[in-house]
Structure 1
Amino acid sequence: MILHPSGKRLVRKAVTLGIGLVGGLVALIVGAPLPWLIGAQLALCLVALSGIQILGGAPEWPQKSRSLFFPVLGVMIGAAFSADILREIPGWWPALIAVTLFLLVAQAVVYLLFRHVGGYDRATAFFSSFPGGFVEAAVLGREAGAIERLVTLQHFLRVSLIVLLMPLIFWALSGHRVGSAAGLPTSDVNLTLGSATLLVAAGLIGSFIGPWLRFPAPEVSGPLSVSAVFHSAGLIEGSIPPIMLSLTQLVIGTSLGVGFVGIAGREFMRGVGLALAAFALVLGLAACSAWLIAPALETPKEAIILAFVPGGLAEMSLIALTLNLSVPFVILIHFYRILFTLGVIPQLARRVIDRSGA
């Protein structure tokens, strides 16, 4: 039987998701943290880098599928907010001061790594070390004359390594098994029809107001904000089925794993080495920051580290939710990080890049 090209692509996507599912099952069996995310990501990363083809083509999965689950993730994260949590927010100001200093120091240290060890030019090194959004770094870097493929590679590796390694590090240090939905807010009350309707409304309304108000990562932060208001007001009873969190993990993990398709060669391996070194430096700085400011906050050091390490807002939200690490604190710090990096750090780029000897 000869399949039409469109049929082949459909089968290829199904097999790709199946590979991610198998990887998630294996990770679940061995007791890995965030099994559906990490298992799917690792399985497809290995398949992609090995060059294995499916019906004559590389593993394939629509990256836009993540956008469909971002509102679901936002609504789930909003369930972690309550009136008591909102009253705690003013006490988090030491973390905002600390993360501001952390971002400036982390960018400087990683910039020096890419510049002097990696041999990148000033613009490429600066925007490869940019602790903000993937797309923003690529666009700003291109406008400044950076080598876009290197900026894109480093940011993809940054997010991938953080998503992969942070849960494993916490798992290794704590020794506790973390299930696929350990941190999802639960309730003895079944989700009522009225509450389910409000959750759907939160996703739809938030998906509209997020871009309209120009929130960072609007697909997540918009639904998150509306859901947080509904939950804080006590309008929603019951909890979202844990399978939704597992499914969100699977889709995001599959998308990240497929991102390695077409990446190979000496430049890639060198990029991985630099990304691992950058991750170690940033993690060390985040750990030092957590140790210094933890006495001023009623927040676990692990949550502070997770809040400071610059991964994607959606991915870090998912990790915080699954590991049950002070979700509102982690989300708000990352929200501030994105606003700060977009508002302040690009202004510093001119001084760094325009210096003589570039």
Structure 2
Amino acid sequence: MKDSNVVPVPVKFGVTLATALAGGGLFMLLGLPIPWLLGPMIATLIGANLRKQYYAWPGPLRNSGMIIVGYTIGLSLTAPALKEMAGQLPSMLLMTGLLLLFCAGIAAIVSKISGMNYKTVLLGSIPGGLTQMVMLAEETEDVNLTVVTVIQVVRLMMIIICVPLLIFSPAFGQTSGAAGVAPLITEVSSSWSGLYPNFFIYAAACTFCAIAGQKVKFPTAYLLGPALITSVLQISGLSGPALPGLLLNAAQLMIGIFVGMLLNPRKLNNKLVTLSLAVGSGVVLIGGAYLMSLLFAYFDAVSLSTALLSLAPGGMDQMSLIAHEVGADLPTVAGFQLFRTFFIFFAVPPLFKLIFREKKREASASG
């Protein structure tokens, strides 16, 4: 079938789900870390680029996975945890500022090497939400939207793949594979019967806040909306039940499929050059985040895994999932990721527009 419209939607969905389950199962058998996030992501990335006409994944399913992860994050945002996070605001501001300056430096180097527009490389390098950076790229003149998307997706996928491997490496003292993950899943998950009756209240509240947040253009609304309302309800005295491991794995699978299907190398003109630069800048960015995490761990007396996951320029959902799996300090990880998300959402776009506008005026004046 050459025409993608010929393939029925249920068939596409079935092929996508089967591919993702096969990938997750394979990663589980191999004892690789975060199998139900990485396995589906890599499997669907390969499948969708080989036979794109057979693959489709509804947005609401990805959003459902985000809501589940947001709820899990919210459970960790207790009153003592939030108080501790408030005391870390100076560290959050410092580390976020250093990370953004580091990204700007990488973008300048990549732009000179490749000859690509600095605006394009910069918007591709900033570790904000993928959707947000793409929207900003659409509103900015002289920006290659495809390149921005590819750099963002490649960086995100490298972080999702490399950070778990680093965390589970001997340097971090984590045990790799299912044997290291299973005890933690048993500890944090509950039986299905333990969900009632508060689960329905939380499910309704999380869904409502996710949709409402999306309507008012709240950053990563399907993640932050549930996280915030869960924290509020829990602090107010309504106990939130821990989720069964099956639901947590399903959430990882739904998000993994979505991320895996984002990258389409066929839309690139200079595929090899762009992908090579994206991978290279991603490696440098991960290295920089690792070095900053060493400083953070030393000065703030947190574990190295907590420090790296807090500073890793990936999505808050993926970093929180990994923190959940390895037993890192989830409130600290979520707090740093949340702070960077809001900082980039509110401060970076106006700042970029101001800088680009001034540069345009200077160029016009000199011309």
Give 1:245's aligned residue: 248
TM-score of the aligned structures, taking structure 1 as reference length? 0.87
Give 2:232's aligned residue: 229
The 5 Å alignment of 1:189-338 reads 191-211=194-214, 215-236=218-239, 238-261=241-264, 263=266, 267-338=270-341
Give 1:144's aligned residue: 141
3-state SS of 2:333 partner: helix
**Closer, same or farther: CA 106–190 of 1 in aligned 2, 3 Å:** farther
Letter in 2 for 1:127: L
Give 1:105's aligned residue: 101
Letter in 2 for 1:70: M
Q: Deviations over 1:60-79 (max 9, x none)?
A: 22244211222122112212
Q: Deviations over 1:308-354 (max 9, x none)?
A: 22222333332322333221211221222122223333314543553
Structure 1 range deviating more: 267-276 or 30-39: 267-276
CA-CA distance at 1:249 after TM superposition: 1.0
Give 2:9's aligned residue: 9
Q: Is the 8 A contact 1:188 1:238 kept in 2?
A: no
Whether 2:157 is the aligned partner of 1:160: answer yes
Structure 1: runs of 5 or more not aligned: none
Give 1:68's aligned residue: 64
Q: Is the 8 A contact 2:151 2:278 kept in 1?
A: yes
Structure 1 range deviating more: 177-186 or 249-258: 177-186
**Closer, same or farther: CA 16–186 of 1 in aligned 2, 3 Å:** closer
CA-CA distance at 1:237 after TM superposition: 5.6
Whether 2:176 is the aligned partner of 1:177: answer yes
Letter in 2 for 1:15: V
**Closer, same or farther: CA 224–318 of 1 in aligned 2, 3 Å:** same
Q: Provide the identity percentage.
A: 23
CA-CA distance at 1:190 after TM superposition: 5.4
3-state SS of 1:131 partner: coil
The partner residue of 2:343 within 334, 340, 344 is 340
CA-CA distance at 1:223 after TM superposition: 0.8
Q: Is the 8 A contact 2:103 2:126 kept in 1?
A: yes
The 5 Å alignment of 1:33-72 reads 33-49=33-49, 51-52=50-51, 57-72=53-68
Q: How many residues align?
A: 351
Say which structure, 1 or 2, has more relative contact order (CA 8 Å, 6+ apart). 1
TM-score of the aligned structures, taking structure 2 as reference length? 0.85
Give 1:130's aligned residue: 126
Q: Distance in 2 between matches of 1:299 and 1:189?
A: 34
CA-CA distance at 1:208 after TM superposition: 4.6
Q: Deviations over 1:155-210 (max 9, x none)?
A: 12122221122112212243513546746734699525222223223313422553
Please provide the CA RMSD for this pair: 2.9
Letter in 2 for 1:161: M
Q: Distance in 1 between matches of 2:109 and 2:60?
A: 33
Q: Which has the higher helix share?
A: 2
Structure 1 range deviating more: 83-92 or 203-212: 203-212
Letter in 2 for 1:137: M
Structure 2: runs of 5 or more not aligned: none
Q: Is the 8 A contact 1:198 1:236 kept in 2?
A: no
**Closer, same or farther: CA 71–291 of 1 in aligned 2, 3 Å:** same
Q: Is the 8 A contact 1:91 1:297 kept in 2?
A: no
